[in-house]
Amino acid sequence: MNELPGIRSFLSQYFPVFMGAIFAAVFTLVFAVPLLFDSYFPALPLADNAKYSFLGGLALTWGVVQCNFMIARGRPQWVWPLATLLGLCILTVLPTIAFGPHSLSYGLSLLFPLLGLLLLNSKRHREMRQKLLEVRQLRDAMIAERKSR
């Protein structure tokens, strides 16, 4: 990357896939966490189920936000915890079919993490991560140059 791209062209090209991956991860948590608590803890009272689902979803959402923030700051290796979270959601939702969940809820709990993994592995998301890494390297070089003066 010889020159910095215009922010408008950068956002028009990469923002939809970046936000799509974020929304897919958030919707994954919205559908998967309550399904997991309903299936694996059936004796849990409804109030406790809602409380633990909310707190668990909140903690996992913080992880999704942290990963995407670090990706946006030019640290592409932070895609791995995000992909791991989506993969774990798939692996924990698959066995819940034995508990007879609502078919739409079950289907969406599998669709969103698969969509998120597809978006994270897309060519456009990989290009965006590479360009953000180059921008971070340019920023670090400029900071180092200013410090040396």
- Say if CB 67 and CB 59 are below 8 A apart: no
User: Residue 8 has which token pair?
Assistant: 């408008």
User: Residue 70 has which token pair?
Assistant: 């670090």
Q: Alpha-carbon distance 141 to 118, whole Å?
A: 33
**Residue reference for tokens 């932070």:** 78
Average pLDDT over residues 137-145: 93
Is residue 3 very low, low, confident or very high in pLDDT (cuts 50, 70, 90)? low
Is residue 8 very low, low, confident or very high in pLDDT (cuts 50, 70, 90)? confident
The pLDDT of residue 2 is above 80: no
- Say if CB 112 and CB 28 are below 8 A apart: yes
- Say if CB 127 and CB 10 are below 8 A apart: no
Average pLDDT over residues 106-116: 96
> String of b and e for 112-148 (b: at least 16 CB within 10 Å)?
bbebbbebbeeeebeebbebbbebeeeeeeeeeeeee
- Say if CB 30 and CB 87 are below 8 A apart: no
Domain parsing of the chain, residue ranges: 7-148
Residue 1: predicted pLDDT: 46
pLDDT tens-digit series, residues 15-60 = 999 999 999 999 999 999 999 999 999 899 999 999 999 999 999 9
Report the interhelical angle of 79-93 vs 103-120 (nearest 10°): 160
User: Residue 53 has which token pair?
Assistant: 């689902």
Average pLDDT over residues 114-127: 96
How does DSSP assign 6-67, residue by residue? PHHHHHHHHHHHHHHHHHHHHHHHHHHHHHHHHHH-TTS-HHHHHHHHHHHHHHHHHHHHHH
Q: List the single range of 5-9, 28-32, 84-88, 126-130 with lowest mean pLDDT.
A: 5-9
pLDDT tens-digit series, residues 66-104 = 999 999 999 999 999 999 999 999 999 999 999 999 999
Is residue 5 very low, low, confident or very high in pLDDT (cuts 50, 70, 90)? low
